[in-house]
Amino acid sequence: MEPSVKTFSSPNWKATSVATDEEVKVHVVLKHGEFHVKQLEERLMDVSDPRSPDYGNHLSVSDVKQVLDLPPAHTNAVLDHIHSFNTTSVSTNTYGDIITVTLPASEAASMFSTSLSVHEHAKAPGSMKESHSVIRATEPYHVADEIAPYVSLVEGLVRFPKFEFKPTRIGEAYRPPAFEGLEGSEFDSCGSSCSGFTTPDVLAAAYGFTPVAAADVTDGNRMAVAEFQNQYYDDADMEAFSDACGLDEPVEVATNVGGNKPSRCGFGVQACIESLLDIEYIKGVAGAIPLEVYYSGTFSLYDWAVQVNDDDAPAQVQSVSYGNDEIQQTSDEYMFTTNTEFMKAGARGVSVLFASGDQGVWGRSGTTGGIFHPDFPAASPYVTAVGGTDFATKSVIGEETSWADSGGGFSNTFDIPDYQADAVATYKTTATLPDSSLYNNTGRGYPDVSALGGQVNSYCVAYGGKGSKFGGVAGTSASSPVVAGVFAILNNVRLATGGAALGFLNPFIYQNADAFNDVTTGNNNAGQRTKGGFDAAEGWDPVTGVGTPNYAKLEKAI
């Protein structure tokens, strides 16, 4: 299976022997016919296109199952094969297309004709060794011939989580120099500890939204963020942020899926800063709209997408500040399988937003290979990618420019979708482009939209646990929850008048590009000025998308 997988080790992971009775958990993903996946895509676009008579008529779980039309005989054949082994537990997801199996390592090695080892992360601190240990195959894996036609891949055998143990972009280095007139301005709205930083008030002034009051939340309207890699959250920091910024609606989490360990948030700068950024700013924007936090101890975006889709009524807006380069994905099969999960979510009326990345066109792989490295999932055609901007003039709310480190470009895996074809063609015929050898001219362009995310006025974040500290954080990890919060407010308006949630956003975005603040200056070369990047331009561009939210225009457009 997954013949494109060539590497079964990682320099970040040290392999050790695995006990025969140690349990392994995998997901056997069943294969959908190409025709049925195409049918799902067509239904997704139909219910997401404002010009369609079916706009907003989102699919139910049973509708999605009917479209994908997975023969029960396929599922039963795979289940029969699995039950011929000594398993601990076997369960099937809501759609009947993912079978989760827990079994001893010896049985897993036999079932998938491979060898397994325990892998410990080489850079994990001693206190985190146990939580940063995974069992993975050390050679290709296989499924039996009689079920091979029915199986797409087995998740949990070959992909290593992407953990990072490095300082977060935070602290005094990201504080703007003293600026006349900050006192009493939006840049001073979270107190002296945050003076000069971007705050909820700065965002409200820049984009024109008003956070939703508790009395105005439409019944059933919800939003969510996803967290991984020991990124938890704590009440002390959320309360400190709410108090310092004088928020009418306090920052709080309504529902947690996957667990939380707030005590971890006192373990230095790295602890919890990513999750607190997401939570403090999606709530700082959207106000009282209930927030859910999905947590997974490993970094599997596929697992997260499955978890969302298995929810009978998932939150209508989902923001994710994680990703990796397409080239860092283990296989194309994995990306296409994950895309099917994104399509399911969008067809059911869920807006999925991903940060576009913080290394410009070069991605996490850098200048290796001398080509640009597009991001996944940001470059997936079935998600909304969010890039980052800066104020054109430091500490002045107004015109924005692109952030040099904002991820953007063109996919090497996915073709240009119809909804953005005209916008991409216009950009390519009017802009000055980098050398054609650096990128794929036929690939899906991203990001789709953007919001403040750069270092000119970094975001004020409360972190550190009891006795919270305040510091500046930069990145599209801030941009994504901000845009998600704006769309959660827009959903609140639609739902209050009996309308449907906006769902998959991209067709709406490209048909209403004039409802965004166009960003026309800057480049996302990540400081590699001699090697180029893409220039921002009038209209859509692969740096800032169609621009940043203009709430007043968006509210009219919906």
Q: Is 363 left (phi over 0), alpha (psi -120 to 50) or beta?
A: left
Q: Which of 2, 49, 278, 535 is catalytic?
A: 278
Number of H helices, E strands in the chain: 13, 23
Q: Which of 2, 201, 237, 274 is catalytic?
A: 274
Within a 13 Å sphere around the CA of 286, how many CA atoms are in the beta-carbon half?
A: 37
User: What are the beta bridge partners of residue 198?
Assistant: 459
Give the integer Cα–Cα distance in Å for 469 and 298.
27
Q: Any catalytic annotation for residue 274?
A: yes
Burial class (CB in 10 A: 0-12, 13-18, 19+), 433: middle
Shortest CA distance to 218 belongs to which of 129, 286, 124?
Answer: 286
Ligand-binding site membership of 243 (annotated)? no
Q: DSSP string covering 421-461, please?
A: HHHHHHHHHHSPPPPGGGS-TTEEEE-SEEEE-SSTTPEEE
Give the integer Cα–Cα distance in Å for 168 and 180.
29
Ligand-binding site membership of 485 (annotated)? no
Q: Are 369 and 325 in contact (CB under 8 A)?
A: no
Shortest CA distance to 114 belongs to which of 256, 201, 46, 18?
Answer: 18
DSSP alpha helix (H) spans, 287-362: 301-309, 332-347
Ligand-binding site membership of 375 (annotated)? no
Q: Any catalytic annotation for residue 63?
A: no
Q: Any catalytic annotation for residue 312?
A: no
Q: Are 412 and 401 in contact (CB under 8 A)?
A: no
Query: What's 251's DSSP letter?
Result: -
Number of other CB atoms surrounding residue 62 within 10 Å: 10
Ligand-binding site membership of 409 (annotated)? no
Q: Which of 321, 411, 477, 480 is catalytic?
A: 477
Give the integer Cα–Cα distance in Å for 245 and 240.
8
Which residues sit in the known binding site? 518-519, 539, 541
Which residues sit in the known binding site for Ca(2+)? 518-519, 539, 541
Residues with catalytic annotation?
Answer: 274, 278, 477
